[in-house]
């Protein structure tokens, strides 16, 4: 098992290196000059060039990239071009809000997906299965930002039940904080719950056809016990991989949802930084989100090896 863990960690290193390169390069391909933004539209060419030199943007891209990586390895993500504050401090200030939103959305997605996925599999090809399949199809097809706008129009403006946006810390006013959290978390959770539900349904259907399940039914074991002890327990093993991968996707989806609901998280910070051409903040935020995604996938893969020893044994032979 130690060799399996070590091998997976080694495989992650080149992914992180390639990720850092892509994050750095893509941002520099975006039209616009941060030096011009900071100097102002009325600045002379000499002033703009001085600003560009002060930011290190006058050097070739490979040199800029190597210097950036060197600072990142030391835990220094640079300073914001606009606020002059350390990028790390800005991200850490916004990160709790993003984690609060994504974790809540992940829990909501599970609360919706687990019962609907199991129920659809147990009642396969019945009206219940059709209704759940329709829900998951709509959840996958409709963009979540559009769902968020509809939620605001319905629950905030028309009915007045919930606030249209913003965030309140739970330590200050727990009930008010919960009201602010419901709409963005539910908006973010709906497409993920549709994915989880469909995948769990397929896994339960596949496991239900295994010989040991038919044997349990032939022995007269009650259907509820067959489903809970034999079917669901084994169907959850492959679902772990999907859960880990899509938790990382929640972080990416939060970027848009935070903007729709004025949620003060990392995603909204990055969108504002993109508009300001604040490269260091965007790079730091992207690097954090992508690295978190890669790390979650690594932990998921390792946990999959613990849950199913055949995985690590098969890869060990390969």
CA distance 59 to 310: 51
Place of tokens 């848009």: 256
pLDDT at 136 over 70: yes
Helix (H) / strand (E) containing 241: helix 233-260
What is the Cα 175 distance to its own chain's centre? 26
pLDDT at 127 over 80: yes
Strongest mean pLDDT among 169-178, 201-210, 271-280, 284-293: 169-178
pLDDT at 313 over 50: no
pLDDT at 41: 67
Q: Which one is predicted more confidently, 73 or 104?
A: 104
**Tens digit of each residue's pLDDT (9 = 90 or more) over 30-43:** 666 667 766 666 77
- Distances from the Cα of 235 to the Cαs of 114, 121, 238, in angstroms? 11, 11, 6
What is the rounded average pLDDT of the residues 109-114?
89
pLDDT at 178: 92
pLDDT at 314 over 80: no
Residues above pLDDT 70, as percent of the chain: 85
What is the rounded average pLDDT of the residues 121-131?
85
What is the rounded average pLDDT of the residues 6-33?
75
Would you say 207 and 270 are in contact if contact means Cβ atoms under 8 Å apart? no
pLDDT at 180: 92
CA distance 251 to 269: 13
Residues above pLDDT 90, as percent of the chain: 8
pLDDT at 46 over 50: yes
What is the rounded average pLDDT of the residues 142-150?
87
pLDDT at 135 over 50: yes
Record the tokens describing residue 191, joined without a space. 């497409």
Place of tokens 């060039």: 49
**Tens digit of each residue's pLDDT (9 = 90 or more) over 183-231:** 999 999 998 888 888 888 888 888 777 777 777 777 777 777 777 666 7
Record the tokens describing residue 143, joined without a space. 């963009």
Find out if CATH 1.10.3720.10 is the number for domain 91-317: yes
CA atoms within 13 A on the CB side of 46: 0
Q: Which one is predicted more confidently, 266 or 3?
A: 266
- Ramachandran class of 163: left when φ > 0, alpha when ψ lies in -120 to 50, beta otherwise: beta
pLDDT at 242 over 80: no
In the 8-state DSSP scheme, what is residue 226? Answer: I
pLDDT at 108: 92
Would you say 173 and 160 are in contact if contact means Cβ atoms under 8 Å apart? no
Question: What is the phi/psi pair of residue 56, to 5°?
Answer: 80, 15
- Distances from the Cα of 13 to the Cαs of 20, 66, 103, 261, in angstroms? 11, 17, 26, 36
Listed in sequence order, the DSSP H helices in 123-173 are 127-141, 144-151
pLDDT band per the 50, 70, 90 thresholds, residue 1: low
What residues does each domain of the chain span? 2-73, 91-317
pLDDT at 307 over 90: no
pLDDT band per the 50, 70, 90 thresholds, residue 247: confident
Strongest mean pLDDT among 168-182, 244-258, 263-277: 168-182
pLDDT at 312 over 60: no
Strongest mean pLDDT among 38-47, 68-77, 178-187, 233-242: 178-187
CA distance 39 to 109: 46
What is the rounded average pLDDT of the residues 18-35?
72
């Amino acid at each position: 098992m130690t060799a399996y863990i070590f091998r997976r960690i080694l495989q992650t290193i080149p992914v992180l290196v390639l990720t850092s390169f892509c994050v750095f390069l893509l941002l520099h391909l975006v039209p616009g000059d941060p030096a011009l933004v900071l100097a102002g539209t009325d600045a002379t060419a000499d002033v703009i060039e001085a600003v560009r030199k002060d930011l290190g943007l006058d050097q070739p891209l490979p040199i800029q990239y190597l210097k950036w990586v060197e600072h990142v390895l030391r835990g220094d993500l640079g300073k914001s071009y606009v606020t002059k504050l350390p990028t790390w401090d800005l991200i850490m200030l916004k990160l709790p809000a993003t984690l609060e939103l994504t974790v809540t959305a992940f829990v909501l997605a599970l609360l919706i997906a687990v019962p609907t996925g199991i129920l659809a599999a147990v009642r396969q090809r019945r009206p219940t299965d059709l209704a759940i399949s329709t829900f998951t199809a709509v959840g996958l097809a409709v963009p979540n930002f559009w769902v968020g706008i509809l939620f605001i129009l319905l629950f905030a403006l028309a009915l007045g039940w919930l606030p249209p946006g913003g965030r309140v810390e739970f330590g200050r006013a727990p009930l008010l904080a919960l009201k602010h959290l419901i709409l963005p978390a539910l908006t973010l959770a709906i497409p993920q719950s549709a994915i989880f539900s469909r995948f769990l349904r397929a896994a339960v259907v596949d496991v239900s056809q295994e010989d040991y399940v038919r044997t349990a039914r032939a022995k007269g074991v009650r259907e509820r016990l067959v489903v809970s002890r034999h079917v669901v327990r084994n169907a959850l093993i492959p679902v772990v991989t999907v859960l880990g991968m899509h938790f990382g996707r929640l972080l990416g989806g939060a970027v848009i949802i935070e903007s729709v609901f004025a949620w003060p998280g990392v995603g909204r910070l990055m969108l504002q930084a993109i508009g300001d051409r604040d490269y260091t903040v965007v790079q730091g935020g992207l690097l954090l989100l992508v690295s978190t995604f890669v790390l979650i996938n690594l932990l998921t893969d390792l946990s999959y090896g613990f849950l199913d020893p055949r995985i690590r044994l098969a890869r060990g032979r390969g």
